[in-house]
Amino acid sequence: MTGLIGKKLGQTRVYDADGNAVCVTVVHAGPNRVIQRKSAEGKDGYNAVQLGYDDQAKESRVSKPLRGHFKKQGSALTKQVMEFRDFSVEVNEGDTVPVTVFEPGDFVDAIAKTKGRGFQGVVKRWNFGGGPKTHGQKGFYRRPGAIGACATPGLVEKGKKMPGHMGQARRTVQNLEIIQVREEDNVLLIKGAIPGSKGDYVIIREAKKRPKMAKA
């Protein structure tokens, strides 16, 4: 499975060959550095490639165990490290993986954290309709209503939709098409929206449901 670590730069639109506007997300995705390569024949017991992205200039901002790992592998410090199993491109430790591992027309999955919304009520968090606005109602406009029975079962059931922290959760958007690959800028233009704010890190991997070999 091919994959890269990148950074979301924002959204824009481009035009296809027929002149139709296509909304895309711009992702800076490289080059990624190969930090470690694992093999099923070795002590790890499985095939994988560990990639690093976005060089870290300050050693103090990297945890001590991770600093030791980088030193053992003889690699420069990076802010992001991600492991991809069964990497479909033949690489060695110290190599760089460019954005050209993907091509226009490929389908990918994008993994990132959503925007944090802080503590939110049920109307915004779960799209509740709220209470009635008339007929003598006071202060019930955005409340959740009853959250459980009295004696039986006498508790609030697990999974009950209630106010709480919203956002800042890892989400995967599947089957996004790559529109353009700009090698000189290390940029991917991916059709559709990707979770997160500008500058957030994102993982781009080969689509599990639409791998390269199945591309029409």
In this structure, the answer to whether residues 24 and 108 fall within a common structural domain is: yes
pLDDT digits (tens, 9 = 90+) for 181-202: 999 999 999 999 999 999 999 9
Q: What is the mean pLDDT of residues 55-79?
A: 92
Q: What domain count does the chain have?
A: 2
144: which 2 tokens?
């959740």
Residues 6+ positions from 127 with CB-CB distance below 8 Å: none
DSSP label at residue 59 = G
Based on the domain organization, do 87 and 141 belong to the same domain? no
- 51 has pLDDT over 80: yes
Whose CA is closest to 53, among 204, 207, 212, 208? 204
Mean pLDDT computed over every residue of the chain = 92
Q: What is the pLDDT of residues 200-216, one digit of tens each?
A: 999 999 999 987 754 44
Retrieve residue 196's tokens: 């997160």
User: How far apart, in whole angstroms, are the C-alpha atoms of residue 130 and residue 142?
Assistant: 5
Residue 143 has a pLDDT of 93
Same domain membership, residue 110 and residue 72: yes
Query: Same domain, yes or no, for 72 and 148?
Result: no
What local confidence, expressed as pLDDT, does residue 66 receive? 93
pLDDT for the residue numbered 211 = 74
* Closest of 161, 160, 190, 189 to residue 175, by C-alpha: 190
Asked if residue 92 and residue 183 are part of one domain, the reply reads yes
Co-location of 113 and 50 in the same domain: yes
Compute the distance between CA of residue 170 and CA of residue 121 in angstroms, rounded to an integer.
21
Domain that holds residue 151: 118-166
Dihedral pair phi/psi, residue 170, rounded to 5°: -70, 125
Do 136 and 203 lie in one domain? The reply is no
Residues 78 and 173 in one domain: yes
Asked if 125 and 166 touch (Cβ cutoff 8 Å), the reply is yes
What is d(CA 15, CA 10) in angstroms, rounded to the nearest whole number?
A: 17
